[in-house]
Amino acid sequence: MLAMSETPTAPARPRILSGMQPTSDSLHIGNFIGALNNWVPLQDEFDAYYFVADLHALTVPTDPEVIRRRSRITAAQFIAAGIDPERSAVFCQSHVQEHPELMWILACQTAFGEMGRMTQFKDKTAKGQNANVGLFIYPILMAADILMYDAAYVPVGEDQRQHLEITRDLAVRVNQRFGENTLVVPEPYILKESAKIQDLQDPSMKMSKTNSTPKGLLELMDEPGKLTKKIKSAVTDTDGEIRYDPENKPGVSNLLVIHSALSGTKIADLERRFVGEGYGALKGEVADVVTSTFTPFRERMNELLADPAELDRTLAKGADRAREIAVVTMDRVRNAVGLLPVTGL
């Protein structure tokens, strides 16, 4: 989820907001290319807010100590990838208590049938995920995340379009009932499709923390030798020609995409360079590109995780910055819906 904002009292720069769930001990290369690698340059142009979506993670039964560990890991991965906490607010969703408060107000404006039609809930429960109420109203918390920061534009992929639609519907509904300036109605900004990274062992399937086998998944915290071994055992084909053809040569095409996304070399240039070369040459160079990218990342991660107290202070500082906006939004919303203001004793 990524949101660009122009608030009613617009900041000097447009605002962006994005979050990621702490559901793993390591992100994989698809997460890096599809999200983190795009977040870093946005800091130069926007007022950036990046949060660990730990409340969203509670929809899946997880040991409390695991959630705590993974929340720090996720924040550390943001910073190791290049998010600068001096320029961007890095914080935990649960540390900004206005998020669930706004969710409750929005939930009271949401029909039961609207949530029942959300495709992600149906898809996840069909696959056996725990059908708790939190998972059912997950899109309302996502709407609160966006609306809390007065997002005017929300860049989304096609898979998130339905969540944006319910966010817009809720903002319009609240404004119609309580006043047109209560919430900013976000507009969609469809993201240009980013490189999709496929499973190394089954290149017909997207690389995924939940569906990929260990051999098919390139995790950012893997040691260089492990990354190299996985890449060199990647499934290709038997014709020996290195060219981009996702339909007929998905394995080779996937390796070319990984190389291009990390090295910045156009796929057409890679095809020309590898004319007459075998798959071993391609795999070896992809392994070099991947390990050279993620070795400094892993080293920085280990530094951050070695000092959890300092990491926690960084998250607290980011939450303070986020709450400066959230408090203003919630004062406006509370007043609009008729809640009494808190007065001093």
Catalytic residue numbers, as ranges: 124, 206, 209
The count of C-alpha atoms lying within 13 angstroms of the C-alpha of 104, restricted to the half-sphere facing its C-beta, is 8
Which token pair is 180?
């047109």
Q: Beta partners for 249?
A: 245
Q: How distant is the alpha carbon of residue 296 from its chain centre?
A: 21
Buried b (16+ CB within 10 A) or exposed e, 81-100: bebebeebbbbbbbbbebbe
The neighbour count for residue 330, using CB atoms within 10 Å, is 20
Query: If you search the block for the tokens 């898809």, which residue do you land on?
Result: 123
Residue 188 backbone dihedrals phi, psi, to 5 degrees: -75, 145
Q: How far apart are CA 50 and CA 22, in angstroms?
A: 13
* Complete edge-to-edge strand list for the sheet that includes strand 187-190: 89-92, 47-52, 15-20, 2-5, 151-156, 187-190
